[in-house]
Amino acid sequence: MGCAIDPYRPQHNETDILQSLFINALELNTLIDSTQHLVGRWVIILQNARGTYLFTDPCGFRQVFYCSDDKQIWCASQPELIKVSKQLRLNRNNELMHFLLHPVHIQEESGWVGPATLYENCFHLLPNHYLDTERVEQNRFYPREPIFYKKVAEIVESACTILQGTMTALTARYNVALALTAGWDSRVLLAASKHVSESIQYFVYSGIIRGSNSIATGNHPDIWVPESIAKKLGIRFVVKRPADQLPGWFVSMLSNNVTCARILPKTHIIYNELVEGKNRININGNGSEICRNGFDEYCNLDAGSLSAEDLAALMFFKGGDMPLFAIKEIDNWRYGFDTRVVKSFNILDLLYWEQRMGHWGAQYPAEQDIAVEEISPFNCRLLIETLLASPRHFRKAPDFVLYQEIIRNMWDESLAFPINPQPKRIVLKQKLRSCIPSSIVSLLKGLSKPKKLESC
């Protein structure tokens, strides 16, 4: 259920893909392995002589929630939909309440952690886990084997093949729009789309700054950088402005469909997409942060020495009191690994993959479902595993050497434009500062300081 793309056979539609999966459907693990290369946002249900099982796309962007009693099990994409058929009671766990009401949790766009939900006896299926409906339990299926480093050239070639094949498939099957900002992830996707760029509408929303509640203007890099790219490379690009106000019926619709639906600046984009009513697929770069060391861009942390409290702090709380709920959930999560296998993975990559992308990363696509379908080409297990086979220092900030090589291999000209530069006014200020002698700067600073009042 959902949207699946085969980058190696871009001409295949969902029916073709489903038929190819039937060949490997006798055993659960064999079926899971056969989806390794698939891109998209989907849920697969397998029923055989041993039972009924569910698993999701790699990042869990198509979510599964489940609830059971002694007789039945209910599964849905949101707890709110289970409530239509099954009465759910609010979870009264004090530690959970403290976590939900913590001000930093709200500032971090209400990202969740662990399988528990707002309701008692209702759980969230985490990425890299399958749901056994008879035992009503989720079990880890990945990673089962260690990951081994590969040569950068081999990684680049494999990644480019997957990304370009995905773009070919998406543009052949759908009316496609690609969000283009000044960031790394959208630059990779731009490069991957070179051969089909005439079939894509590139866009960005003004009024929204990535990772912020601030307002983007023409001086912001997410506006002027893609405008410069579009002018030079000759692609169709538009700056869109979301609606200023959200009507009450829209907010009600959103809350009835999505548990803990948020009202954020980017929620205005959802409303805008809904009222436009265009039948299209949006493409974005979500999930790429897993491979760009999302919780430690500069590779300064010793992941092996980090406690559950340290990991929780990376996710949510940069200071102050640490909610026990978050610490306990992360502690339970990290001790669910086969350490012989996982030691070849960096726990920070898996933390970002399963806890950050599986919750916070999946929330916005769920909120958008009433208006538009969104696909991330990075939501592919084979692509993620391929990129993670690179030594971490090739994936670290600020240069992200591996990503530069991938972009250069697909559309070298797109690297001619700055990636994540500072706003124009700051750049101009720095240029002016470099032209003024330091003695003059010191004098100006002295003049700008308020004079102290003489004591009586």
Domain boundary among the residues 140, 167, 194 is at 140
Q: What is the pLDDT of residue 129?
A: 97
The string of pLDDT tens digits covering residues 18-33 is: 999 998 888 999 999 9
Buried/exposed 203-214: b ≥16 CB within 10 Å, e otherwise: bbbbbbbbeeee
Residues 172, 260, single domain; the answer is: yes
User: How many angstroms separate the CA atoms of 45 and 26, rounded?
Assistant: 13
Residues 256, 386, single domain; the answer is: yes
Is the confidence at residue 441, as pLDDT, over 70?
A: no
Q: What is the pLDDT of residue 374?
A: 94
Is the confidence at residue 454, as pLDDT, over 60?
A: no
The string of pLDDT tens digits covering residues 72-110 is: 999 999 999 999 989 999 999 999 999 998 888 888 888
Is the confidence at residue 215, as pLDDT, over 50?
A: no
Contacts 24+ apart (CB under 8 A), 316-324: 316/102, 316/104, 316/105, 316/108, 316/111, 316/113, 317/102, 317/104, 317/105, 318/104, 320/104, 321/102, 323/95, 323/98, 323/99, 323/102, 323/105, 324/95, 324/98
User: How many angstroms separate the CA atoms of 187 and 208, rounded?
Assistant: 18
Q: What is the pLDDT of residue 209?
A: 56
Q: Domain holding 279: CATH number?
A: 3.40.50.620
Residues 127, 156, single domain; the answer is: no
Q: Is 238 helix (H, G, I), strand (E, B) or coil?
A: strand
User: How many angstroms separate the CA atoms of 180 and 223, rounded?
Assistant: 9
Residues 6, 86, single domain; the answer is: yes
Q: What is the pLDDT of residue 443?
A: 57
450 pLDDT tier (thresholds 50, 70, 90) = very low
Strands of 62-212 (E only): list them.
Answer: 65-68, 73-76, 122-124, 129-132, 137-140, 176-179, 200-205
The string of pLDDT tens digits covering residues 402-419 is: 999 999 999 999 999 999
**Please, what is the end-to-end C-alpha distance for the chain in angstroms?**
79
The string of pLDDT tens digits covering residues 320-352 is: 677 899 999 999 999 888 777 777 789 999 999
Residues 160, 36, single domain; the answer is: no
Residues 417, 368, single domain; the answer is: yes
Q: What is the pLDDT of residue 333?
A: 94
Residues 407, 268, single domain; the answer is: yes
Is the confidence at residue 217, as pLDDT, over 80?
A: no
Residues 252, 392, single domain; the answer is: yes
Q: What is the pLDDT of residue 428?
A: 47
451 pLDDT tier (thresholds 50, 70, 90) = very low
Q: Does residue 328 sit within a domain? A: no
Closest CA to 360 of 61, 55, 41: 61
The string of pLDDT tens digits covering residues 417-429 is: 999 998 765 444 4
Count the neighbouring beta carbons within 10 Å of the beta carbon of residue 433.
10
Tell me which residue range forms the domain holding 132: 2-140
User: How many angstroms separate the CA atoms of 392 and 155, rounded?
Assistant: 13
Give Cα separations from 193 to 5, 38, 269 (angstroms).
15, 18, 24
Q: What is the pLDDT of residue 340?
A: 74
234 pLDDT tier (thresholds 50, 70, 90) = very high
Residues 208, 95, single domain; the answer is: no
Q: Does residue 391 sit within a domain? A: yes
Q: What is the pLDDT of residue 442?
A: 60
Residues 183, 131, single domain; the answer is: no
Give Cα separations from 149 to 381, 385, 392 (angstroms).
16, 10, 10
Structure tokens given for 44 = 């697969």
Residues 280, 402, single domain; the answer is: yes
The strand pair at 176-179 and 281-283 is best described as: parallel
DSSP-derived secondary structure for 410-440 = HHGGGGGS-SSPPPHHHHHHHHHHHHS-HHH
Domain count within the chain: 2
Q: What is the pLDDT of residue 423?
A: 77
Residues 92, 24, single domain; the answer is: yes
Domain boundary among the residues 87, 110, 140 is at 140
The string of pLDDT tens digits covering residues 106-146 is: 888 889 999 999 999 999 999 999 999 999 999 999 998 88
The string of pLDDT tens digits covering residues 282-320 is: 999 999 999 999 999 999 998 888 999 999 999 887 666
Count the neighbouring beta carbons within 10 Å of the beta carbon of residue 343.
12
The string of pLDDT tens digits covering residues 156-197 is: 999 999 999 999 999 999 999 999 999 999 999 999 999 999
456 pLDDT tier (thresholds 50, 70, 90) = very low
Closest CA to 165 of 365, 388, 383: 383
Q: What is the pLDDT of residue 107?
A: 81
The string of pLDDT tens digits covering residues 32-83 is: 999 999 999 999 999 988 999 999 999 999 999 999 988 899 999 999 999 9
Closest CA to 63 of 349, 358, 270: 358
User: How many angstroms separate the CA atoms of 254 and 262, rounded?
Assistant: 9
